[in-house]
Structure 1
């Protein structure tokens, strides 16, 4: 069995993750209506406890969002700022060694979040606001580049197509992300601080999601660290015909495939289980020694 090339180097917030070292990003949704009820952290104290738990379970990054990704109650800029910025400042003070990410497509939220201590801007809506690369560069922050097939924020895909067959999505994603990476590097964001996210479920159906996962190595070959946000997504649920609460095993299977193929960062709801799965794959790949190896030696 041939081992695929290792994940790319990642630099964020003064930390350096060498090629082949996987990174876990924990999801903290400061929302009352996120699609997964187990991760609704609208109460600030509950969210702070979740951050501490995520760090203890092996998270390297915490991704803080203030707006549900899909359709729902309107959240204007002022409300998103209220939910996100003071909380990031609180976590920055309480967890100085933890990398912080802000999940937003709005320039003003990104700007204030970086000033409060965010190390990464997670733009899940594919440059809807073109100011984000410049904001990331000015703040010395990283930037997640995503693909939505032209979908606007907080909309669901409907009869989306990318040419002939599900595999054609891969070419569209590769072309879009290469262009976005050039724009961001031209704005001054270092290549090692740009994360490429194929963005499963956003502007895509389940066949597209499976095709992108199969072709993870093509994303890795672009040379930037690849982020996979697979956790409890609809493409997992539809593949196995399961509701959100029962998608952990499917998520871990998809995560293991992406890790084997060289993805770098994994955005997850279930930190401990994901950390174990990813570390096991890293050891199978030969990039991480066993934590304990005494069998047959003692």
Structure 2
């Protein structure tokens, strides 16, 4: 899953796509490089990020989705927590909702149920503005599993099909470095629930904290984490560096043929 942030302030690629044309061209290039999904986001959720109103978010993402749809039928995920954006994005061609708030914002659960597209529920402790202020868990893997199971039940009660629910442990969203790496090892526990697991660790601070590398120099760490995620049962890798990650996936899958 290739990340296409149409934002001025995302932690890694904010401001890179200052026009609809640039964003669409980059998205189509990701597809050529092997992306199976495109994840379009119009509001940064990095620690301390400012909120974006619904109209501005719509103005950022809808033209990009429409532009991609003029050239490609690739599955598109809309990265949003707002019900109105979910509705408009799916009507414009998005085929999945990726929500860092796990459908807890006003109207989101009802709209998602009505749209009948796959939903990725992510765990976050706190909000993007506060989430890194001393996050605490009794047992991070068990606590995240409990939260996601609770949100899954809410989805089922709202009429969302069980097979349409994906889990994302939310790396960097209200987690310390140790929490994040515990959750890498914990991917197997998430996968054991039977739900597809989406992971997003690409270029994140959990890499920089270990390697000392700045955001723009975290490719090697991102590839290692993607490989560990696959080994532990992740189904979807949400990444910035598509071509390199596709190579890693091919090597891992070839290795698995001989290892088994």
TM bracket, shorter-chain basis: over 0.9
Give the match for residue 100 of structure 1: 76
Q: 253, 262, 285: which one pairs with 2:256?
A: 285
1:16 corresponds in structure 2 to none
Secondary structure of 2:238's aligned partner: strand
Q: Which of the pair is proportionally richer in helix?
A: 2
Q: 1:46 aligns with which of 22, 35, 38?
A: 22
Does 2:5 match 1:29? yes
Q: Does 1:161 align with 2:148?
A: no
Are 2:164 and 1:188 equivalent residues in the alignment? Answer: no
Deviations 1:95-133 (A, max 9, x none): 12x001111111111111111111011101233315333
The CA RMSD over aligned residues, in Å, is: 2.0
TM-score (normalizing by structure 2): 0.93
Cα distance in 2 between the residues matched to 1:101 and 1:79: 18
Give me the whole-angstrom Cα distance separating, in 2, the residues matched to 1:205 and 1:41: 30
Q: TM-score, normalised by structure 1?
A: 0.82
Q: 1:82 aligned to 2:53? A: no
Conserved 8 A contact 1:227-1:266: yes
Q: Name the structure 2 match of 1:8.
A: none
- Corresponding pairs, count: 259
Distance 1:95 1:42 in 2: 21
1:124 to 78, 100, 116: 100
The reply on whether 1:64 has 2:35 as its aligned counterpart is no
Greater RCO, CA 8 A, separation 6+ = 1
SS of equivalent residue, structure 1 residue 37: coil
Once the two structures are TM-superposed, the CA of residue 272 in structure 1 deviates from its matched residue by 0.7
> Does the Cα contact within 8 Å between 1:121 and 1:142 map onto a contact in 2?
yes
For residues 155-210 of structure 1, the C-alpha deviation after alignment (integer angstroms, 9 at most, x for no partner) is 441111112xxxx1001001111111122122222222211000100011111000
Deviation at 1:73, TM superposition (A): 4.6
Q: 2:109 aligns with which of 133, 138, 141?
A: 133
Contact kept? 1:92, 1:100, Cα under 8 Å: no
1:243, distance to aligned residue in structure 2 (A): 0.8
CA distance in 1, matches of 2:50, 2:121: 26
Q: 1:181 to 1:57 in 2, by over 3 A?
A: same
How far does residue 154 in structure 1 lie from its aligned partner after superposition? 4.0
Structure 2 unaligned residues grouped into runs of 5+? none
Distance 2:145 2:115 in 1: 27
Change (3 A) 1:35 1:44: same
Change (3 A) 1:259 1:31: same
- Higher mean C-alpha displacement, 131-140 vs 44-53: 131-140
| Counterpart Cα distance in 2 of 1:253 and 1:39 | 27
Give the 4+ runs in structure 1 shifted more than 6 A. Answer: none
